[in-house]
Amino acid sequence: METGFWVSFSIVLALLIDFVIRVLAIIFVPRNRKPTSATAWLLAIFLIPYIGILFFLLIGSYKLPKSRRQKQDEINRFIIDSTEGIERVRRDHPWPPWLEGVVELNRNLGAMPLVGGNRATLNGDYQGSLDAMAEEIGKAKRYVHVEFYILTLDKTTAPFFDALEAAVQRGVTVRVLLDHIASLRTPDYKRTLKRLTAMGARWQLMLPVQPLKRKYQRPDLRNHRKLLVVDGRVAFMGSQNVIDRSYNKKSNIRRGLKWKELIVRLEGPIVAGLNAIFITDWYSETDELLRRETEPITDEIDANELDAQVVPSGPGFAGENNLRLFLALLYYAQERIVITSPYFVPDESMLMAITSAVQRGIRVDLFVSEIGDQALVYHAQRSYYEALLRAGVRIWMYKAPYILHAKHFTIDDDVAVIGSSNMDMRSFQLNMEVSLMVRGRSFVDEMRKVEDGYRQDSRELTLDEWMKQPLRSTVLDNLARLTSALQ
C-alpha cells in the first residue's frame, strides 16, 4: 500500500512540475521576443520539456551581462562627443531625399556620425588583403589595433604576425583582440597566443567563456567584428578573418573549400570611428579606456572623397542596429538592390522588405554560395529560396569550391554597405558586428564591378530548377528553418 502511494505521488508530482514548467514557459518565453523565436522555444520546451528548458536557461537570453551593457552606454557617450569630419560631409551633390533620415537613424542607434573626406579601396584578393594589412603594419609608428573574430598563426598568416612582431620591436604599441570561442576552435590557438605573448603584444580574448575566472555569458554570444587600425591613419574592415582561406579544417581541405572575401581599406576621419569600435571592445574586456588619437585633417577636400558612417551592432545595444539600417535602405531603394551574404536567413521583416522591393518594380539580386560550410545554416537558407524566386528575386549561386563569405550590399547608385554582418538572425541578435555605410557614386561603381565579377563566376538559380528539389532536401531545409529561430 505504502509503495503504491509513493509511486502515485511521484507520478502526480512529475505531472504537476511538467504543467508548471509549461505555464511558466508561456508566461516568460514570449516576453520581449519575436513571435517566431518564442514559438520555436515553446515548441522545444513542450516537445522535450526538460532538455528544452535546460537549453533555454543556458542560451535563452541574448543580452550581454548588465555590466557590459553599462559599459556600452558609457562608451556611447564618449563616442558621441567625437565629431571629427562632420564638417567635411559633401553636400554639393544632391542627397537622395531619404538619406538624411537613415544617417540620423544610425547616429541614434550607434552614436557614430556621418563623416566626410574619406578614401576607400576594395580588395577581394585573399592573400593580397593580408599582405596589404601587413604592409601598413610595417609603416606603423605609434600603435596598431587588431580585432578579429578569428586570428590564428599559420603559414598563410605568418607574414601578418611577423609584421606585428617587427612593429613591437620598433617601439610601436600593438593591441590585439580575438574572439575566445571562435579562435579556440582553430588548430593553432595555443600557438597563436604564445606567439602574441612572446612578441610583446598586448592581447585579450573577447567575450571569454571562463566560468572559473568569473567570465561568463551566453556561450554563443560572439564578437564577430574584423578590423585593423594603424596609427589612426589607415584602417581595414570587412568579412575576412586572419586565417588560411581553408580555415585549416580537415573537412574543408578534403572538400577543397576556399573562402572568397571582400575588405575595404580606409583613410580619413572614418578611421577614428573604426578605432572607437576597438576602444569600446578593449574597454569592455580590460576596463582600460584608451585615449582617442586622430591624425590632423587637411583643409583640402578631393572631389573623389566619400561620406561614410560606422554602424556598430550587437547584444550590447538595445535595438538591432544592423537590421534597422538594412531595412531602412531596402525600403528606400528606388531602382536596384544587390545583396551578397554567405548566410542569408532573414527574419519576417527582412523577407517582407526584399519581396516588397521586387513588387515595387525594383530589381533585386542575391549572391549566395552554391555549397555550404555549415549544414544547419545552409539548409535554413535554402528554405527561403522558393519564396524569393516566386517574388522575382534573382538568386546567383557562386560556384564551388568557393564559399562566398563577403558581406555587402548596394542600393541604387547612392549607397553601399560593407562589414562583418551576415543577413541572418545570429548577426542581428547574437553577434557583435560592425558595418560601414558609404555614400558616393565612385564607391558604388567599384562595388558594382565586384558584383559583376561574382556574376561571371556564378550560375543563376531558376524557380523551375528549384521546384525539382527532392523531398528529403525540402524536409531538411524546413527543419533547419525552425531551429534558426531559436534566438
Q: For 98-111, what is each residue's pLDDT tens digit?
A: 999 999 998 888 87
Confidence band of 478 (pLDDT split at 50, 70, 90): confident
In which band, very low, low, confident or very high, does the pLDDT at 484 lie, cut at 50, 70 and 90? low
Question: Within this chain, do residues 470 and 371 fall inside the same structural domain, yes or no?
Answer: yes
Whether residue 390 sits in one domain with residue 270:
no
Are 338 and 377 in the same domain? Answer: yes
Residue 349 domain flag: yes
Task: Identify whether residues 302 and 174 lie together within a single domain.
Answer: yes
Average pLDDT value over all residues in the chain: 87
Residue span of the structural domain in which 188 resides: 66-101+114-306
**Does the residue 82 lie in any domain?**
yes
Q: Which positions ≥6 away from 264 have C-beta within 8 Å? A: 120, 121, 122, 123, 236, 237, 238, 418, 436
Instruction: Average the pLDDT over 71-77 and give the result.
Output: 69
Residue where one domain finishes, among candidates 261, 277, 306: 306
Structure-block grid coordinates of residue 233:
591613419
* 49 lies in the same domain as 77: no
88 close to 269: Cβ distance less than 8 angstroms:
yes
User: How far is CA 306 from each of CA 67, 92, 189, 388, 440, rounded to the nearest angstrom?
Assistant: 37, 12, 38, 33, 6
**Which has the higher per-residue pLDDT, 126 or 296?**
126
Q: Whole-angstrom distance between the N-terminal and C-terminal Cα of the chain?
A: 48
Report the share of the chain in percent with pLDDT over 90.
62
Q: Report the C-alpha gap between 271 and 65 in whole angstroms.
A: 29
| CATH assignment at residue 195 | 3.30.870.10
Of 58, 14, 78, the residue nearest 273 (C-alpha): 78
Same domain, 278 and 402: no
48 plus 129 within the same structural domain: no
35-52 pLDDT tens trace = 666 666 677 777 776 676
Whether residue 420 is found in the same domain as residue 281: no
Q: What is the pLDDT of residues 347-395, one digit of tens each?
A: 889 999 999 999 999 999 999 999 999 988 999 999 999 999 999 999 9
Q: Round to whole Å and give the CA distance between 120 and 449.
A: 15
Reported as a single tens digit per residue, the pLDDT across 401-452 is 999 999 999 999 999 999 999 999 889 988 999 999 999 999 999 999 999 9
Domain assignment of residue 106, yes or no: no
For residues 474 and 334, membership in a common domain is answered with yes
Task: Choose among 447, 109, 143: nearest CA to 271.
Answer: 143
Same domain? For 174 and 297 the reply is yes
pLDDT of residue 434: 96
**Whether residue 284 is found in the same domain as residue 317:** no
Does 365 share its domain with 380? yes
Total structural domains within the chain: 3
